[in-house]
Amino acid sequence: QVQLVESGGGVVQPGRSLRLSCAASGLTFRNYGMDWVRQAPGKGLEWVALIWYDGSNKYYADSVKGRFTISRDNSKNTLYLQMNSLRAEDTAVYYCASQRGDPGYFDYWGQGTLVTVSS
Amino acid sequence: QSALTQPPSASGSPGQSVTISCTGTNSDVGGYNYVSWYQQHPGKAPKVMIYEVSKRPSGVPDRFSGSKSGDTASLTVSGLQAEDEADYYCSSYAGSNNYVFGTGTKVTVL
């Protein structure tokens, strides 16, 4: 079965950086676009970023553009999110999700990793 | 990109139906047939229930159905069951490889 496992979350001070990882198994990773979606505590879902199946194109929500970078290593079946210049409002559970179709929808989700930005 | 508008809550008794609306603009919901719906139980990851407005992934009960009219999409859950109690989010393609989610609706089974 498909498994997406996020890691790398934790507590970080404002202005610092953090890198999240998402290890995929049970799917042909190199064939899928991948997304990051976040959810602030007690709040709704927010789409963060998308990377095409081959890494050739990347897209970001305005709220993270210029600060976050999505990338992937298809040889390791792993998705990344490099988060720089973190702000308190970036505090959230970060989910990775596989995207079916282009445009498409988010068909498999990881369990999420919590990022807390606080001094 | 502004979040799509959903009612904060909806409820129904077991066996009844509940419909959740999701209102956007002609730049997202109204402009594309790429609306999807997600169910999220507390502390769990979201699960897709409907994609491309009205299609159900395999394994999703046919009690769940979706539709769209203009800038508003809807999710109907028929024959409510206790396990349907959860938060529901709509999502739409918003052009230029961007996506937007709804504000979320908490469904309570009375």
**pLDDT values of chain B reduced to their tens digit, one per residue, 110 residues:** 799 999 999 999 999 999 999 999 999 999 999 999 999 999 999 999 999 999 999 999 999 999 999 999 999 999 999 999 999 999 999 999 999 999 999 999 99
B6 close to B21: Cβ distance less than 8 angstroms: yes
Note the pLDDT tens digit of each residue in A32-53. Answer: 999 999 999 999 999 999 999 9
Q: Between chains, do B45 and A111 touch, taking CB under 8 Å as contact?
A: yes
Q: Between chains, do B36 and A106 touch, taking CB under 8 Å as contact?
A: yes
pLDDT at A102: 86
B residues 26-45 closer than 8 Å to A (CB): 32, 34, 36, 38, 40, 45
**Residue whose tokens read 């230029």:** B96
Min Cα separation B36/chain A (Å): 6
Query: Which residues lie closer than 8 Å to A74 by C-beta, 6 or more apart?
Result: A29, A30, A54, A55
Query: Is residue B48 less than 8 Å (CB to CB) from chain A?
Result: yes
Interface test with A, best of B90, B97, B100 (most A CBs within 10 A): B97
